[in-house]
Amino acid sequence: MTDDHEDYAAAGYTGTLEPGRRAALVVVDPVTAYIDRTCGLYAGVEEPVDRMRELTAEARAAGVHVAVTTMALSADGSNAGVFFRKVPALAAYLPGAPTGAFIEGLAPEPGDTLVQKQYPSAFFGTSLAAELVARGVDTLFIAGLSTSGCVRATATDAMQHGFVPIVVREAVGDRLPSVHEANLFDIAAKIGEVWPMDRVLAHWSVS
């Protein structure tokens, strides 16, 4: 995955994306590390987390498939555990780490898809793409933390797999408001759509 306009064009992006017939919700890495003020990641994002909970509940109620991603890192460096040397806070994602548990209300439920990633950025992955295609999904609504990294990477990679990615404004977050707004602008300009949550819920109610 790259961050280049030519690659977006090659993936079929013309500057305007429209939702298709069937959507899924992807909740990116909703682990307690993000709300643990001692962890040093994105503490202070309580409002977007609340919206993520609401959005996830509404998706399930509307029959929208939910996929939850989480990292699966190894401290021995056998996968992306090499990042521990650069970002010690990623130790939160080691199996059994207390800050690696799912945020209350955002854990995957029976019938949801759990996506175990091996990189800090939320690369979409061909296995999840294949599953969603088999379900007839053509549009992804994306929530999570943060817009600058995991959410933007998820949206970009989803588009390159042929999906229409739509980031839900209130259900994503960065700790710094100025960074948050700049990244939302970047997502809208380079990837496609950033929708307010009420528009998402209205779309689900008539789909």
Whole-angstrom distance, CA of residue 70 vs CA of residue 139: 21
**Which of 150, 160, 145, 149 is CA-nearest to residue 191?**
160
80-110 CB burial, b ≥16 within 10 A, e <16:
bbebbeeeeebbbbbeebebbebbeebbbee
Catalytic residue among 150, 164, 172, 184: 150
Known catalytic membership, residue 39 = no
The residues that bridge with 19 in the sheet, in sequence order, are none
Is the bond leading into 146 cis (omega within 30 degrees of zero)?
yes
Sole residue written with tokens 């994105």:
42
* Ordered strands of the 65-71 beta sheet: 113-117, 65-71, 23-28, 139-144, 164-172, 193-195
- Residue 12 is classified by DSSP as T
Residues forming the active site: 150
